[in-house]
Chain A
Amino acid sequence: MRPIIVGCTSDVLDQRLLDKCAGLGFEDMFNAPLTEKNIEEGIMPFIIKRQFTMLSFKVEKENSPK
């Protein structure tokens, strides 16, 4: 499964930089240094969705008839 890739930069996160990074495969971009708050609000939702996908796959696999 492809990892979620996020970018962080200490440069000004303006439209020019976002356009430069568009299409490279970043899920989101953040200003460095990353803080507890933007990890919780910006990155964790991606991961929680991912965990659910993987869990549902595992549960289905365990429950499937052999």
Chain B
Amino acid sequence: MPKIAEEEKKEESPQELQLQASNSLGSKLHKPRCLIANDEEVQLMILDLIMTKHGFKTECCINGYDAFVKVQESLNNPDLMFDLVILDLNMPICGGQEACSRIDGLYNESIMFKDKAFVKLSAEQVINHMVVLPAQELLPNPNIIFEVPV
């Protein structure tokens, strides 16, 4: 009787995954963007260096309000969108907690009209939402407004 070989499913480490991505897709690899908000100059500089070393394109700011504004500005341009935001919790003007909930609010923004929600989404967000929502068709505009039945 032929033996049935069982494939062992190993959990791949982040380093292995990164290597696979680099090998298979080479230059197509998306260069992630990182926003660092920290009021301490030394910490900001160190984080900037570490993240740059890890292949991130970094932007720095010294309070939560600036971080929120930068994220808000990036919403209109998919190339400028941030993949990672590192927020210090204790910062002047606007701390990390408030900045986080405000940034989160930007992405959950929707206007409710009686029985329908109108959600403004970027093309990438549409792809994500399609997994959750029963979307009928996809319009490939960078920014579209579509109707979501509630």
Which positions in A face B, CB cutoff 8 Å? 1-11, 17, 20-21, 24-26, 32-34, 36, 39-41, 43-48, 50-52, 54-55, 57-59
Contact = CB atoms under 8 A, between A and B. Distances in A.
B107 A2 contact: yes
A52 B16 CA distance: 13
Contact of A32 (B30, B43, B50, B71): B43
Contacts of B43: 32-34
Nearest to A6: B86
B58 interface: no
A54 B28 CA distance: 10
B90 A9 contact: yes
Contacts of A26: 87, 100
B50 A52 contact: no
A58 B46 contact: no
Contacts of B97: 7, 20-21, 24
Interface SS, B side? helix
A11 B97 CA distance: 14
Interface residues of B, number: 40
A48 B89 contact: no
B54 to A, nearest CB: 7
Interface string B74-116: 0000000111111111100000110011011001000000000
Nearest to A3: B82
Contacts of B38: 8, 32
Contacts of B89: 7-9, 11, 17, 21
A33 B42 CA distance: 10
Given A1-B125, A2-B107, A9-B90, A59 B85 contact: no
12 contacts: A3-B85, A5-B85, A7-B96, A8-B86, A8-B88, A21-B89, A25-B104, A32-B43, A34-B50, A39-B54, A46-B84, A57-B127
Given A7-B88, A34-B50, A47-B84, 18 more contacts: A2-B125, A3-B103, A4-B84, A6-B84, A6-B85, A7-B87, A7-B96, A8-B87, A8-B89, A10-B90, A24-B104, A25-B103, A26-B87, A26-B100, A51-B21, A51-B83, A55-B25, A55-B30
